[in-house]
Homo-oligomer: A and B are copies of this chain.
Amino acid sequence: MFSEENAAAGVTFARGFKAAGVKAGIKKSGNLDLAMIYTEKEASVAGVFTQNAVAAAPVIVSREVVKTGSAHAIVANAGCANACTGEVGLANAHKMAALAAEELGCKADDVLVGSTGIIGVNLPMDKLAAGIKAAAAELSEDGSKNAGNAIITTDTYSKSCSTEVEIGGKAVRFGAIAKGSGMIQPNMATMLCYITTDANISSQLMQKALSEIVEVTFNMISVDGDMSTNDTVLVLANGESGMAEIQADTPEYDKFCEVLGNMCRELSKRIAADGEGATKFLTINVHGTKTFADAKTVAMSVAKSPLVKTAFFGEDPNWGRVICAVGYAGIPMVPEKTVIKFGGVPVYANGLGADFDENVIRDIMAEHDIVIDIEMGLGEAEATVWSCDFSYEYVKINGEYHT
């Protein structure tokens, strides 16, 4: 479904969308750092943002745009988060939208803005203005790759995907670019994800779909338990597929949700796998709780445990740390009913370490992708969290970042 072939098309795979990524000089490295996505035809918009009480200026501005229900463009920069920047920061975020609107011939409240990078530093507005001008001039149907690279920070690669499906008799296209890496945690992260589609759907209905999908995709990843001030997922739908408008409670809506959900799940997994310094991608499935919330709490407790994360980094089948993290999650659990499996092989059952083949487990621990199943035996609910290990590299990246 998400072929690498289409992936390059990213946010410009959907009809009517153009993109660009340029070097505005905001990143110290001199790499691409300013992205623009544009649809000439007005798009309906949906957005989900950080729940951090300290919301960055671009989050405040974009929330206002989402409320209007429609937009023409997204402009985003890396290298500076424009967070904890007060009145000046808020004015700069508004200015950022206005500058882009001027270049694109739309209104400022048709432009969504995003920033990621260092907290507490003001945007260099001269560089930003020049970058916005350059990006607008470079907008093209081949610009998604550059746009994707312009929003990454410590990510090792840009995440993008795209897909075409038939909905309501029409070929409908979806594309996305995303960045993640550090501060990745439930309820969003230093995570920016921009999704475009030529589906025809109201902003209200799309917001309902997105809010539900984020709960079981982006909110189910954890790299380090930190929740950023800047997290944003946006979807723009411009209707260029020519389909009739999608209505609630129809097979077309279900299909739309399925595709958007798959896309968000795929990007969530890639963001977790590319966590800062990660050497392992961990899928933590919790089964048999009374509620989804219970299962998520248990899975997050395991995903966030530094002792579990360092054990997987060391390829140590230390199930003791896993059952310990299950035990302190604060959710009903019975040690004797709980089963833990690594790569499908039971390592803990009946209150004891299971009698497993050490060679088999060693091979499982040596893999890059490892599945941890935790069966609680107390109900029918389940949840999956995606995470990664904790390495020397994580400490290096975060001990040396900034200043």
**Contact flags (1/0) for A350-377 with B, using CB distance below 8 Å?**
1111000000000000000000000000
- Please measure, in the bound complex, the distance between the C-alpha atom of A187 and the C-alpha atom of B328, giving whole angstroms: 9
- Pick 21 A–B contacts, CB within 8 A, sort by A: A52-B327, A52-B328, A54-B323, A54-B324, A81-B320, A86-B350, A119-B318, A225-B225, A225-B305, A225-B306, A226-B321, A226-B325, A227-B327, A306-B398, A310-B399, A311-B398, A313-B395, A313-B399, A314-B400, A318-B401, A391-B395
Distance between A9 CB and nearest chain B CB, rounded to angstroms:
34
The quantity of this chain's copies bound in the complex is: 2
CB atoms of B224 and A320 under 8 A apart: no
Contact A226 B305 (CB under 8 A): yes
Tell me whether A228 is interfacial, beta carbon within 8 Å: yes
| Given A328-B51, A395-B313; A120-B352 close (CB under 8 Å) | yes
Confirm or deny: A170 has a beta carbon within 8 angstroms of a beta carbon on chain B.
no
Q: Any chain B CB within 8 A of the CB of A182?
A: yes
Supply 6 further A-B pairs (C-beta < 8 A) apart from A81-B320, A86-B352: A53-B335, A228-B324, A316-B399, A316-B402, A318-B401, A391-B395
Q: Does A396 contact B (CB under 8 A)?
A: yes
Check: A333 CB closer than 8 A to any chain B CB: yes
Name which residue of chain B comes closest to A332, CB basis. B53
Interface residues of A in 7-51 (CB under 8 A from B): 51
Distance (whole angstroms) from the CB of A170 to the closest CB of chain B: 41
Interchain CB contact under 8 A, A328 and B227 = yes
| A183 interface hit (Cβ, 8 Å) | yes
Which listed residue (B54, B185, B320) contacts A83, Cβ 8 A? B320
A224 touches B118 (CB 8 A): no
| A227 / chain B contacts, CB cutoff of 8 Å | 324, 327-328
B399 touches A395 (CB 8 A): no
User: Judging by beta carbons under 8 Å apart, are A53 and B327 in contact?
Assistant: yes
| Distance of A120 Cα from B317 Cα, bound (Å) | 12
Residues of B within 8 A of A307 (CB): 182-183, 224, 226, 398
Interface residues of A in 377-403 (CB under 8 A from B): 390-392, 394-396, 398-403
Would B119 and A226 count as touching, CB distance under 8 A? Answer: no
Say which residue of B226, B351, B390 sits within 8 Å of A84 (CB atoms). Answer: B351
Q: Is the CB of A310 within 8 A of B394?
A: yes
CA distance A392 to B390 in the complex (A): 10
